[in-house]
A and B are shown apart, each in its own frame.
Chain A
Amino acid sequence: MSTTTELLQHGAELFPGEVVTTAHVRHLDLPLQAGRLALITLDNGFDHTKPTTFGPGSLLKLSAALDQVEAEAAEGKIVGAAVTGKPFIFAVGADLKGVEILKEHADALAIGKGGHEVFKRIAALPVPSFAFYNGAAMGGGVEVGLHATYRTVSAGVPAFSLPEVFLGLVPGWGGCTLLPNLIGPSKAIKVIIENSMNQNKQLKGKDVFELGIADAIFEPADFLEQSLLWAAKVLKDDVVVEREEIDRGKAWDDAVAWGRLVADAKVHGAAPAAYKALDIIAQVKDSDLQAGFDAEDAALADLIMSGELRSGIYAFNLVQRRAKRPVGAPDKSLARPVTKVGVVGAGLMASQLALLFARRLEVPVVLTDIDQERVDKGVGYVHAEIDKLLGKGRIGPDKANRLKGLVSGSLDKAAAFGDADFVIEAVFEEMGVKQAVFADLENVVSPTCVLATNTSSLSVTEMASKLKHPERVVGFHFFNPVAILPLLEIVRGEQTDDASLATAFGVSKKLKKTSVLVKDAPAFVVNRILTRFMGEIQTIIDEGTPIATVEKGVEPLGLPMSPIVLLELVGPAIALHVSETLHGAFPERFAVSENLGKVVKAGKRGFYTWVDGKQVLDPEVLELLSFGDTVLTEEQVLTRALEAVAQEIGLMLEEGVVAEAQDIDLCMITGAGWPFHLGGITPYLDREGVSERVNGKRFLAPGVASVPA
């Protein structure tokens, strides 16, 4: 064991900032006179707001605890050993800060080996071992329990997952090897691949039991007592644990093949983690656990030294930390209370906003429009959506009544908005129209009412310029579908004051949105980058490269959808409109595609159509278009598209559109769904050398979203 200890001691020296988890060993007499049990409690000494993690120092503590338990088991002093967590938390896996600082492949390898060597000792104890999953368990927390002979889970566990693939790792402390051998490959792949790649979906205690990960489930009120009683019965053979037989034949290979389809659908081969995990799962079909563990070590070390993982951790930190403390937001004490909200316009976007405001703020929301019919339609939409929530059991009847009561419509703006604190407009995207709406509003609202605009590309400053109180205007740019995409770009106009801005951030927080402070610049962040990206793609197509080549060219990015599909989703007309706006601002970089104009004019939804259930290029559309004769290779397509994006981001940072590159990435992840393995986008541009080539410098310092030098 000394080598493991040395490995971990070296690891602990590299990571002096670790919050060390202690493995407390306590002895107790089991019920039913079943004998004495050593119960290990994993506890980092903080309350549940600081969940227990594993770093090298923590593994050393667990190793020391196991030294003691092993000796006691050998001497016959105990009949069993068990592991559980502090209140509400079992353990949430490896401390990511300890992963970020690793510079050497050998040290990365040591992390994997160290964990394995310690956890394996639980399985190797001469007495049966138990894990009592009392609370949240993730990654290495789940894995430490997988090494035990038996497991129980609390029905109150709110979150249980192997999120490694989501971040860019593999479950490498036994997860890839043990889980398929415990519950079969297809359920294991659901947990390791599918859930992880589905925005890190969490299992609840009930799922953990139903999947067969835990052998018994107990209610949280007396979970530990019942788990100990159950353990006593198992030790006395009063309870015999039965597990599903695992098919190690073709079903195993089929499950892995299905896993590859799931991974392809998400990242199109662009990120390695899922595939490495699947390779290990495929390999452990013969249940050679040690070979599986060795493969995990190797995969873990390679991935820890990869840009994808560093980008993944960087992205994770952005959405977990930076998103909660928007950079540049004024002091929240300046925010004014919002007790009533007005929405100008009762179209689809406006209705969706009304629903969101009502659900999250739980204050009256009034929709207005130019005639009663539109108002009724808008309110009707919201009420119907509330009924859907009721039908799905997401809210109860009282809540549905309350929400419906909150949302009303009116043609009388003065009556509707006189006592509103926050009015947002979602009318037609044209400066003159929006200015008129605001001028009209200013006559009826209170002097401190915030006027917000959901514009996607118009200048907030200009929109406010004709008002008596331009300081209360803010941009409040949502992303479609507003209920799903977390991003909210909050735009500060030139005259916007701190109190109005603070109020906007306060509202955003209550809406549970990720807000990023953005300067009043054309198309703000996400639309500007997407339009530059798609504009470059469009130009490449217009110049003569076949669409299929273009699609293939950008595949290595692993974007959630191809630019051509995205165009269809956004709608060619809107895409054209935004490109025209940006062309107006930056004609040298944003072209307006004639071909796109023709598609819009023809009323087509995109380049593709469906024939016999297959997506094919629409011949009618192709008929309309004219192409040049410059044909690029796939590589050239990617290079040009990335260089355009890198240039644009470089310029945006120079202009001060956002505070830092981190905000760009946060926007692209939460507003456009750009993937973790790209870190949004700037880590990838740095990694591939595009930033250096185009702008002469990196976006992020070495070591940020990359392996430190």
Chain B
Amino acid sequence: MPRTVRDVVFVDGVRTPFGKAGPKGIYHETRADDLVVKCIRELVRRNPNLPVERIDEVAVAATTQIGDQGLTIGRTAALLSGLPKSVPGYAIDRMCAGALTAVTTTAGGIAFGAYDVVVAGGVEHMGRHPMGEGVDPNPRFVSEKLVDESALFMGMTAENLHDRFPHLTKERCDAYAVRSQEKAAKAYANGDIQPDLVPISIRNTNPEVGETGWGLATVDEPMRPGTTMESLAGLKTPFRPHGNITAGNSAGLNDGATASLLAAEDVAEELGLPVKMRLVSYAFAGVEPEVMGIGPVPATEKALAKAGLTIDDIQAFEINEAFAVQVLSFLDHYGIADDDERVNPYGGAIAFGHPLASSGVRLMNQLARRFEQRPDVRYGLTTMCIGFGMGGTIVWENPHWSGAEKSSESEGGK
């Protein structure tokens, strides 16, 4: 049967404030599933035009699908959110790119015609589920030297990246990290982040942590405004003696959740849903697992090629800051300056945190904010590196792009 591919749009996205993992973190006594449920509910509340029974899928990513992140969390979260029982759901895992993959996979379904409207997001409670919980790597990885042992430890892969690109020094990484904190603080001051945060009630019963009882999380806990080169210089390098990777120039261990609403463009129009971004193309690519941080480069190459674009067409970048060195390796590849204003203008994961499988939608929220504020920008991308040697990139178009009226023929560019 003849079939028309449909355009997919990013209608809206929200997230919890991100917390620090561990007994002192804001979400230490909060369940992971509750975090993502509250995001889904907020998404529905914010889009009253959407009849909830029109949601065709709820895709929720988590890296460690155990306990409160297990049990096919997309389905359980849908039920716990109060969505109609007729709305299905499933769980997704691509480690750090879980939410990003939830978006691309369901977007593919929308384009194909299987779905009209979907919820896609992710959650990671690294306090309740530390990285590597319950893993059982096949011994062949080591015995057959399929990968180096360092491939299993993200910090070590980042150190490996320094070996490959010696000119990306620790000083450049620290400087990048300082800027990320500065940009994040500025974004907060300008109110660029808060509109997409879902306040979360948080309980603390441990007087050693702070005030006990119920509280409310309204801001990202990991941020360290006022970070300086000096304060970063003395930090330990836990992955290698006298190494380069520190807690200051990488994202921390975090708890958080995100959710986004995607729709076929014609359905968004029919329902009167806002359009924040239009999906142009996406791609995933594999690299050597020992240097997983370089993954965004081949992924971006692929995505751009599919879109018929070049890197010069991209005026807005949201790149996940798992490690500063991994961001710099991407920028270095494309000849973009470390402090290029197109890159992560509101700060990144080094400041906000990186609860693995949830982060993809945070990147999209920030790119959508950029699109909203910069109608002169037509294309942007969200990209991230992924454990075991992968990268994923989505290219987006700005629906507010002001050039559209002027040169409608250039539409064919994508």
Question: In the assembled complex, which residues on chain A have CB atoms less than 8 Å from the CB atom of B41?
Answer: 221-222
> What is the number of residues of chain B that contact chain A, defined by CB distance less than 8 Å?
21
Q: Does chain A have a CB within 8 A of B150? A: no
Q: Are A39 and B199 in contact (CB under 8 A)?
A: no
Query: B residues within 8 A CB of A222?
Result: 37-38, 41-42, 201
Measured between alpha carbons, how far is A642 from B121 in the docked complex, in Å? 72
20 A/B residue pairs, CB under 8 Å, sorted by A:
A22-B212, A26-B211, A26-B212, A27-B215, A28-B218, A29-B216, A31-B199, A39-B213, A39-B216, A41-B203, A43-B213, A221-B81, A221-B82, A222-B38, A224-B214, A224-B216, A225-B38, A225-B200, A225-B216, A228-B199
- Which A residues lie at the B interface, using CB under 8 A? 22, 24-31, 39-41, 43, 45, 84, 87, 219, 221-222, 224-225, 228-229
- Give the docked Cα–Cα distance between A228 and B199 (Å): 10
Shortest C-beta distance, B386 to chain A (Å), equals 31
Residue of B82, B198, B199 ringed by the most chain A CB atoms within 10 A: B199
Q: For the complex, is B50 an interface residue (Cβ under 8 Å from A)?
A: no
Question: Other CB < 8 Å A-B pairs besides A26-B214, A219-B82, 8 of them?
Answer: A27-B215, A28-B216, A39-B213, A39-B215, A41-B212, A225-B198, A225-B200, A225-B216
> Is B169 in the interface zone, CB < 8 Å from A?
no
- B205 at the A interface (CB under 8 A): yes
B213 partner residues in chain A, CB cutoff 8 A = 24-26, 39-41, 43
| Beta-carbon contact of A225 and B212 below 8 Å | no
Q: Which one of A25, A40, A221, A225 lies within 8 Å of B199 (CB-CB)?
A: A225
Q: Is the CB of B214 within 8 A of A84?
A: yes
**C-alpha spacing A87/B212, complex, angstroms:** 14
CA A402 to CA B38, docked complex, whole Å: 37
A87 & B203 in contact (Cβ 8 Å cutoff): yes
A29 touches B218 (CB 8 A): yes
Q: How many Å lie between the Cα of A222 and that of B31 in the bound state? A: 13
Chain B residue contacts of A219, Cβ below 8 A: 82
- Determine the chain B residues whose CB is within 8 A of the CB of A28 once the complex forms: 215-216, 218
A90 to chain B, nearest CB (A): 12
Q: Is the CB of A228 within 8 A of B212?
A: no
B204 within 8 A of A: yes
- CA of A214 to CA of B203, assembled, Å: 24
Residue B80 interfacial (CB < 8 Å) = yes
Min Cβ gap B218→A in Å is 6
Assess A41 versus B214: contact at CB under 8 Å? Given A222-B38, A229-B199.
yes
**Please, how many angstroms separate the alpha-carbon atoms of A24 and B211 in the complex?**
8
Measured between beta carbons, the chain B residues less than 8 angstroms from A228 are: 199, 201, 216
Cα A221 to Cα B212 with chains together (Å): 21
Min Cβ gap B84→A in Å is: 14
**B82 to chain A: which residues have CB within 8 Å?**
219, 221
Shortest distance between the CB of B322 and any CB in chain A (Å): 30
> What CA separation (Å) do A27 and B82 show in the bound complex?
30
Across the two chains, which residue of chain B brings its CB closest to A28?
B216
A458 CB to closest chain B CB (Å) equals 52
Q: How far is the CB of A234 from chain B (nearest CB, A)?
A: 16
Distance A29 CA – B188 CA, assembled complex (angstroms): 15
Interface secondary structure of B, over-half rule = mixed
In the complex, which residues of chain B have a beta carbon less than 8 angstroms from the beta carbon of A45?
A: 205
Interface contact A27-B211, CB-CB below 8 Å: yes
Which B194-242 residues sit within 8 Å CB-CB of chain A? Answer: 198-201, 203-205, 211-216, 218
A24 partner residues in chain B, CB cutoff 8 A: 211-214
Residues of B participating in the A interface, judged by any CB pair closer than 8 Å: 37-38, 41-42, 80-82, 198-201, 203-205, 211-216, 218
Q: How far is the CA of A225 from the CA of B216 in the complex (A)?
A: 7
Q: Ordered nearest first, which 3 A-B pairs have the shortest CB separation?
A: A24-B213, A41-B213, A224-B201
Check B201 against A225 for contact (C-beta < 8 Å): yes
Question: What is the distance, in angstroms, from A178's C-beta to the closest C-beta of chain B?
Answer: 24
Measured CA separation A222–B204 after assembly (Å): 17
CA A222 to CA B211, docked complex, whole Å = 21
Chain B: CB-nearest residue to A29: B218
A303-B400 Cα distance, complex, nearest whole Å: 72
A229 to B197 Cα, complex, angstroms: 13
Bound together, the chains give a CA A26 to CA B29 distance in angstroms of 15
Q: How distant is B355 from chain A, measured CB to nearest CB, in Å?
A: 19
Say whether A31 contacts B211, CB under 8 Å. no
Least CB distance from A412 to B in Å reads: 43
What B residues does A87 contact at CB under 8 A?
Answer: 203
CA distance A221 to B205 in the complex (A): 20
Q: How far is the CA of A692 from the CA of B120 in the complex (A)?
A: 76
A347: min CB distance to chain B, Å: 42
CA distance A41 to B37 in the complex (A): 23
How far is A26 from B203 in the complex, measured between Cα atoms in Å? 10
Closest residue of chain A to B198, judged by CB?
A: A225
| Shortest Cβ distance from B200 into A: residue | A225
Residues of B within 8 A of A26 (CB): 204, 211-215
What separation, in Å, do the CA atoms of A225 and B215 have in the docked complex? 10
Residues of A within 8 A of B212 (CB): 22, 24, 26, 41, 43
* A84 nearest in chain B by CB position: B214
Between A22, A41, A222, the greatest number of chain B beta carbons within 10 A of the residue's beta carbon is seen for A222
Complex contact A221–B200 (CB within 8 A): no
Q: Which residue of A lies closest to B191 (CB)?
A: A33
CB distance from B78 to the nearest CB of A (A): 12
Q: How far apart sit A271 and B205, CA to CA, in the bound complex (Å)?
A: 43
> How far does the Cβ of B120 sit from chain A's closest Cβ, in whole Å?
20
**Distance in Å: Cβ of A386 to nearest Cβ of chain B:** 25
| Residues of chain B lying within 8 A (CB to CB) of residue A22 | 212
Q: How far is the CA of A222 from the CA of B80 in the complex (A)?
A: 11
**Chain A contacts for B201, CB-based, 8 A:** 222, 224-225, 228
**Nearest CB in chain B: distance from A22 CB, A:** 8
Q: How far is the CB of B264 from chain A (nearest CB, A)?
A: 28
Of the candidates B80, B200, B214, which one forms a contact with A39 in the assembled complex, judged by CB atoms under 8 Å apart?
B214
A419: min CB distance to chain B, Å: 37
**Docked-complex contact A43 and B205, CB < 8 angstroms:** yes
Q: B37: which of A27, A31, A221 is its contact (CB, 8 Å)?
A: A221
- B218–A221 contact, CB under 8 A? no
Q: How far is the CB of B29 from chain A (nearest CB, A)?
A: 10
A29 vs B200: C-alpha distance when bound (angstroms): 12
Centre residue among B199, B205, B213, B216 by max chain A CB count within 10 A:
B213
Complex CA–CA separation, A40 to B212 (angstroms): 9
Q: Which of A22, A24, A219 has the most CB of B within 10 A?
A: A24
* C-alpha spacing A22/B204, complex, angstroms: 13
Q: Within the assembled complex, what's the spacing in Å between the Cα atoms of A24 and B203? A: 11
In the assembled complex, the CB of B19 is this many whole angstroms from the nearest CB of chain A, namely 14
How many Å from the CB of B220 to the closest CB on chain A?
A: 13
CA distance A85 to B126 in the complex (A): 27
Q: Which residue of B is nearest A229, CB measured?
A: B199
| Minimum Cβ distance to chain A for residue B267 (Å) | 26
Give the nearest-CB partner of B80 in chain A.
A221
**Measured CA separation A28–B214 after assembly (Å):** 9
Chain B residues with CB under 8 Å of A43's CB are: 205, 212-213
B residues in contact with A39, CB < 8 Å = 213-216
Question: For residue B211, which residues in chain A have a CB less than 8 angstroms away from its CB?
Answer: 24-27
Nearest to A24 among chain B residues (CB) is: B213
Q: How far is the CA of A359 from the CA of B373 in the complex (A)?
A: 63
Min CB distance, B83 to chain A, in Å? 11
Which interface residue of B42, B200, B201, B204 has the most chain A CB atoms within 10 A?
Answer: B201
Question: In the assembled complex, which residues on chain A have CB atoms less than 8 Å from the CB atom of B218?
Answer: 28-29, 31
Report the Cα distance A39→B203, complex, angstroms.
11
A529 nearest CB across to chain B (Å): 50
Inter-chain CA distance A219–B41, complex, in Å, is: 11
Chain B residues closer than 8 Å to A229, beta-carbon distance:
199
Residue of A nearest to B197 (CB): A31
* Bound: A87/B218 CA distance, A: 20
Residue with the highest number of chain A CB atoms closer than 10 Å, among B38, B198, B214: B214
The CA-CA distance from A579 to B23 in the complex, in Å, is 70
Report how far A202 CA is from B203 CA in the complex, Å: 28
Residue of B nearest to A134 (CB): B214
A30, B199: Cα distance in complex, Å: 9
Tell me the complex Cα distance, A400–B198, Å: 43
> Nearest-CB distance from B328 to chain A (Å)?
35
Q: How far is the CA of A228 from the CA of B213 in the complex (A)?
A: 15
